[in-house]
Chains A and B, each alone.
Chain A
Amino acid sequence: MKKITYYPGCTLHSTAYEYGDSTEAVLKYLGIEWQEIPDWNCCGAASAKSLNHKLSILLPARNIKNASTLNNDIYVPCAGCYNNMMKAKRALENAEERQNIEKSLGKFESIPEVYPLMRLFTDKAILEKLSQSKLKTDVKVASYYGCAFVRPEEVLQNENPEIPQSIDNILNAVGLETVEWPLKSFCCGGDLSLADSSVVSVLVEKIINYAKEAGANAIVTACPLCQANLEMRQKEPFPIFYFTEILGIAMGIDNEKWWKKHLVDPRDLVSKIKGGK
């Protein structure tokens, strides 16, 4: 059985409850065992790096240190958390910076690998397992990655920031068609959502219009900040899903609780994805 270390971050138990719950349901279904990082803290999100560099490294570094006791790779569902944790990991890979971090946090025994949650599902064996649950629907969706899963490329070395594919591959495996469109990694302005919503509304409108024009009936994302922002700042109701919710539908383990948490009710489309008319 595969075992992973899991860093839910602040949102998966609160504003992105449906992402957290659907992730856990899907992991259970696939027989993947997960353990949360012991006594984890907030990674500092956009705020620590905005005001103080050292703080922005030490906060996620403490999580890496606590995770290292579990001896498994860390998987991170939130793009912002993943990005911050990778920056701390790169700092730890530099001898001089590591010394400074250890001055504050004590010695690190080992440094685990850090991956975005999607990476778990693009593993060949798991993709094969996923493809045993096939949706039969003509609903099409636009996969949306946002910025922090893919950039800066030299730090993350994750996937091509211009044409990321992981979410597409996962959704296609369960039989959901994804459209080709150019704004997969265009910024939604999530970090500015509360500070200046006028800027953010323009970005969100652009993203949703492009997705619609490309023929999508919904957007599917992996980032709780993007998801909340795309739901909060849109004009006409356009459903925004987490990819784990789609996997849940395909596996037949989706939960009414998830749909009730959405600010934009996706239930009409959920029944279409299930094959209803």
Chain B
Amino acid sequence: MAQMNDLAVLVKELEEQLVTCIRCGMCQSVCPLFEQTRKEADVARGKLALLSGLMENIFEDPSGVSQRLNKCLLCGSCAANCPSGVNVLEIFIKARAILTEYTGLSPVKQLIFKRMLANPKIFDTLTQWAGRFQNLFIKDQANAQGTSCARLVSPLLAGRHVLPMAKNPFHKSLADLSRTPLAKGNKKDSGLRALFFTGCLIDKIFPNVAHASVKVLTHHGVGLSIPQGQGCCGIPALASGDRETFTRLVDHHLDLFKNEKFDVLITACATCTSTIKKLWPTLYKNPTSGVKEQLDALSQRTMDINQFLVDRVKPDFGKDAPSVSGPSGEIVTYHDPCHLKKSLGVAAQPRKIIRAAGKTLVEMEDSDKCCGMGGSFNLFHYDVSASIGNLKQKNIADTGCTTLLTGCPACMMQISDMLARNKQNIKVCHPMEVYARALEEKIK
């Protein structure tokens, strides 16, 4: 009990934020997890009450609270809808860090986060091996999403359709890319300079999204710099309570970007953008003088690629846009990633781009409802994750679309899996991909 008292003291750090929850219960109406389980411990109100319980030292050991706290998509639906403005995500992430620091990280996570993720070079090499060897384990299936069923059905994979690692991750092409005259667009110069943050999933699973982004930005005359040696934005470590590794990753990138000249930092990954914008400044551990200001300034300059294109580059979509197929173009639908719409308020811009690419956008029901991915939530709670994702795939299919578009590679993975499980013949792409393709066709 004496030790639990220490923990209570640590959690007390969150008290001022915890007391803002007025227990109104409104979060139940939007929590995708609660919709499935109907259990109070799964919704924000219940989890916040559990943290208050820790603070009041009423439990004998923290594992029960920790387990319930980790069962959460961190989708932020609760926070976006909370009448009292409780900063739910920040509380949850800080609490996870406090609990992890108190109980220690599990050995597997230690290996992944401390050894692999924290060191972008090792991470790159390892995943590249995985990319080469996976053909031995995963048999290709000819489906629209390009997913494949794990041949050796390990318990962890449980029949899911995993997207193969790309044979050529994006960073491998950087050497070639840097030789092309990136700084000058091949048309007029927009006068804007952007630093492109790739992000792990795009680099290793969806390199095509990065290539498309480069194409689009270059076309619109944006000067680009894509520094070599980028790594993970840190969210997986942070979500598991490993603030240490997270902070090291932030340091790594601060150092990497130090000598770069750019107006904006852009990413094509909703999760990376919201992590850099919202979590880098608030969750960096013990910042030394100047670091906090640096992170705040960087946060100010960070933007989602769709938002950047529409609000900053402002191309005249009527004239400049590819719009090859006109209003009768392919029917597509768009899924709002939680980290774009709920966290950053970006929803109109990707739609504009999709229309500019000549697609017919048919809205699905609940387009801003979480897809159920939730990072490692999907790994540890695959069943619930799949039933949430199943609702999504149904709404997608109901639109009669042939392509689903979304601005986050994590959502792309989850939705691909869900569509493949249900044998839906629907492709999954990023808005940048369709826009870039339309550009190419126009130039042809």
A binds B: no
Residues of chain B at the chain A interface (Cβ within 8 Å): none
